[in-house]
Structure 1
Amino acid sequence: MTGTEFSVAVAGGALTVTRWGAADALPVLALHGITANGHSFARVAAELPDGLALLAPDLRGRARSAHLPGPYGLGAHVADLVAVLDAAGVDRTVVVGHSMGAFVACLAAVCHPDRVAGVVLVDGGFGLPAPPGTDIEAVIGPAMARLSMTFADRDDYRAFWQRHPAFAGRWNTWADDYVQRDLVGEPPEMRSSCVAEAVRADGAQVLEDPETLGAIRALPCPAWLMWTDRGLMDERPGLYTPERLAALDGSGVHLVALPEDNHYTPLFSSTAATVAAQVHAAVQQTVQA
């Protein structure tokens, strides 16, 4: 399914958004991870029922929104997503976020409860204690390292990602479309579009900002956290475990385990259908109730 791109006026320029779905379908909003882009949600969009559309911006500092200037940070993403909803004529909807995007979704729900009816969080949104001074580069590993690398051509970049432990043996056309959208420049010196300054600013908030970390416990709307058994490098355990998630007892956040996946794969594997079904259920429970 091919998406349609459009631009939304935001502070400093225009944010690029991809829409999948019929013109008369109800849009939900999708927010990608810290070095990702909107096309990470293409397979989820393809799995949604006909009555739903999906709006996925390339967040400020990434892919076709890489030109947008700072100041960066999760508050800037929240302001940008409100602009997307306004431009699309959406008063209130469900927001699905992956990884860092899940933290943005929680913050948006707290700051704009009239616009966010519910949130679906995919392996993110719930902060875990990090040792003082922890840098985002140490957390996301190769995903950050590639920002300072150059690649001979598109095949070289594809091979880099195919070697990543999270994608090894799991490569498909959905993953390929996603990573190719990130690549800019000309051979033999192509590079990732992600702005390192934006990634560091966003990462610092995910790791240590009290408002960001506390948002999941202050949500004014229904929330579902879909967590994976494996981490960013396909290791066990992943970011979340039943023991770690016990800290959310009493918060009202519904937990959904994804035992066959790592941090990346729910958006690209057959599990995308499970994510789409959860988004649909959230819409039925909140927007269409």
Structure 2
Amino acid sequence: MSNRPVNELHQFTLPLTIGGTRLEIAGMHREGTGVPLVFLHGFGSTKEDYADVVQQAELADRPVLAWDAPGCGATTCSDLTAISVPFLVEVARAVLRAKGIERFHVVGHSMGGLTALVLADQDPSRVVGFVDIEGNVAPEDCFLSRQIISHQIISHHHPDPQGFIDEFRTRVWASPYWSSAQYAAGLPHKVRAGAVRPIFESMVELSDHGGLMDRFLGLPFPRMFMYGEQNDTLSYLGHLAENGVELAEIPHSAHFPMYSNAPAMWARITGFVLRTGRQEVPRRP
């Protein structure tokens, strides 16, 4: 066994108020040198998806920041109906400001990838590089979130958010894709039922009408799009490559490479960060 010391992460809580909604952000961070690494998790996941950053020796000196999105994990939120992707972007801005981070690498998965895309599009000068792990860039990416419409049992007349998430969990658990059952098993513990509808509806709206592909391709810094090999049929992969986006196919994986093939995922993230951030010096506000 290796005796290599691990540069530990430390947990924190951060009280915020965004548009009248009170939050207690549960996060993890570490100090370091170089461009900070900011991680945004997906729907129904938590910041711990990225805790193994401490095992990446080549990133050992990097500052790290991650937090549980409102409605997920240990973060508390006074009004779950207020949550949307634009709301998550405002939360990200506030957390970055509170932690004094001006320029950063961002890694976002699924919902977190979409949040990172909108954040980066609004202020691209702050982002050094972007690893998008199957974040939404086209309508076809709503294979999970569009179930709020295709399997809708939540309505204004018969609101049943817990019923929806219970059925959603059952469908995902039975999926033939890598790590689906593992993901589904954690849903009751990682996401509040009342957050599902507003998050999913916001993701669908942006994917269908938000011009995400043009916004992603228009970003002026290095981008990697990471996907599992079971999702290699995504129709736009060639289009991304033709427009300068680095593709990273993760073997033995589908939508959740952090569960099914974490070593391969981290190897690609680490290589990308080292290549794109070598000459960058972070600026403080």
Q: Could you tell me which residue of structure 2 aligns to residue 219 of structure 1?
A: 219
Q: CA offsets, 1:186-211, max 9 Å, x none?
A: xxxxxx43522333233323531324
Q: Partners in 1 of 2:42 and 2:17 — Cα distance?
A: 20
Shift of 1:94: 0.7
Q: Partners in 1 of 2:83 and 2:166 — Cα distance?
A: 22
Alignment of 1:110-189 (within 5 A): 110-129=121-140, 135-137=146-148, 148-149=165-166, 165=176, 166-167=178-179, 179=186, 183=189
Contact 2:137 2:207 in 1 (8 A): no
Aligned CA distance change for structure 1 residues 288 and 79 (closer, same or farther; 3 Å): same
Q: Could you tell me which residue of structure 2 aligns to residue 193 of structure 1?
A: 192
Unaligned runs of 5+ in 1: 151-156, 185-191, 231-237
Partner AA of 1:219 in structure 2: L
Q: Taking every aligned residue pair, what percent have the same amino acid on both sides?
A: 18
Contact 2:38 2:65 in 1 (8 A): yes
TM-score, normalised on structure 1?
A: 0.72
Contact 1:94 1:283 in 2 (8 A): no
Q: Could you tell me which residue of structure 2 aligns to residue 187 of structure 1?
A: none
* Aligned residues: CA RMSD: 3.8
For the residue of structure 1 that corresponds to 2:64, the secondary structure is strand
Aligned CA distance change for structure 1 residues 251 and 17 (closer, same or farther; 3 Å): farther
Unaligned runs of 5+ in 2: 1-7, 152-160
- Number of matched pairs: 256
For the residue of structure 1 that corresponds to 2:124, the secondary structure is coil
Contact 1:206 1:213 in 2 (8 A): no
Partner AA of 1:205 in structure 2: E
Contact 1:137 1:145 in 2 (8 A): no
Partner AA of 1:200 in structure 2: F
Q: Could you tell me which residue of structure 2 aligns to residue 263 of structure 1?
A: 255
Q: 2:68 aligns with which of 51, 58, 64?
A: 58
Shift of 1:72: 2.6
Partner AA of 2:69 in structure 1: L
Q: Could you tell me which residue of structure 1 aligns to residue 23 of structure 2?
A: 14
TM-score, normalised on structure 2?
A: 0.72
Q: Partners in 2 of 1:139 and 1:286 — Cα distance?
A: 47
Alignment of 1:205-284 (within 5 A): 205-230=205-230, 238=231, 240-241=232-233, 244-266=236-258, 269-278=262-271, 280-281=273-274, 284=277
Q: CA offsets, 1:244-288, max 9 Å, x none?
A: 311224422111221232211335632243244145325524634
1:40 and 2:43 are equivalent in the alignment: no
Q: Partners in 1 of 2:131 and 2:107 — Cα distance?
A: 5
Q: Partners in 1 of 2:213 and 2:125 — Cα distance?
A: 21
Q: Partners in 2 of 1:25 and 1:129 — Cα distance?
A: 39
Shift of 1:42: 1.6
